[in-house]
Amino acid sequence: MSLLNFLKNNPSLIFNLILEHLQLTGTAILSAIVIGVPLGIIITRYKKLADPILAIASIFQTIPSIAFFGLLIPILGIGKRTAILVLFLYALLPIVKNTYTGIKEVSPFMIDAGRGMGMTNMQILRMVELPQSLSVIMAGVRIATVINIGTTTIAAYVGGGGLGELIFRGIQMYRNEMILAGAVPAALLAIFADKILGYVEYRLMPKGLRKKA
């Protein structure tokens, strides 16, 4: 099979592209968590901010990704920087929205119990709200990651690198095995990333909330 041959003949190329791909997605997702989770928490505290911020995050989601990359080239030029910014903005919505929803859905009785026993607002957040909304927040991170690994293939269009390079080159050269050599590892990455995050979620989850196996 020509796909196997292609992989056999270019192992280091594939390996480097996978690493590059992970680097792009990883940077985008980590920044989206670092910014998105606190943002999601803040908008549960300042309800007036919730709607506008969620609306803005949704707008990013509606712009077709290839157009979004293209639109940013005149501003940021080509390269990884542009790619990561777009990927970050795509990842933001599921993370902000799930953090917001997860925390809002913590039962008011739980918060009342915490406050009534003398927890400060920070302690309520750390000891009650975050542990109880963890699975919803993690679901957002997983969705963002899986989608992002797919979207990262398009980042090659703006010179971001990653497995998308093989796909674009394969399309231009009419070489299906090259397209597949980019697409199959990307799909596998998405599946593995989801599994690994599922495991992370399970380990982070307090025992009393874990679903019985």
Per CB under 8 A, the list member of 23, 31, 101, 123 interacting with other proteins is 123
Q: What is the dihedral of CA 183, 187, 190, 196, to 10 degrees?
A: -130
Per CB under 8 A, the list member of 30, 56, 71, 110 interacting with other proteins is 110
Q: Which of 164, 186, 191 minimizes the C-alpha distance to 66?
A: 164
Please enumerate in sequence order all residues whose Cβ is within 8 A of that of 94, keeping only pairs 6 or more positions apart, or say none.
Answer: 140, 141, 143, 144, 147
First to last CA, the chain: 41
106 is written with which tokens? 């913590």
User: 56 or 209, CB closer to other proteins?
Assistant: 209
CB of 99 to other proteins, least distance (A): 17
Does 203 interact with other proteins (rule: CB under 8 A)? no
Alpha-carbon distance of 168 to 179, in angstroms, equals 7
User: 115 or 175, CB closer to other proteins?
Assistant: 115
Q: Which of 163, 174, 159, 170 minimizes the C-alpha distance to 82?
A: 159
Number of CB atoms found within 10 A of residue 213's CB: 4
Q: Which stretch binds other proteins (CB under 8 A): 73-81, 161-169, 188-196, 203-211?
A: 203-211
The per-residue b/e assignment along 50-82, b for 16 or more CB within 10 angstroms, e otherwise, is beebbeebeebbeeebeebbeebeeeeeeebeb
Per CB under 8 A, the list member of 80, 81, 104, 115 interacting with other proteins is 115
Per CB under 8 A, the list member of 5, 112, 188, 196 interacting with other proteins is 112
CB of 212 to other proteins, least distance (A): 9
Per CB under 8 A, the list member of 107, 126, 188, 192 interacting with other proteins is 107
User: 49 or 127, CB closer to other proteins?
Assistant: 127
Q: Which of residues 127-146 bind other proteins (CB under 8 A)?
A: 127-128, 131-132
Point out which residues bind other proteins (CB under 8 A). 107, 109-110, 112-120, 123, 127-128, 131-132, 206-209
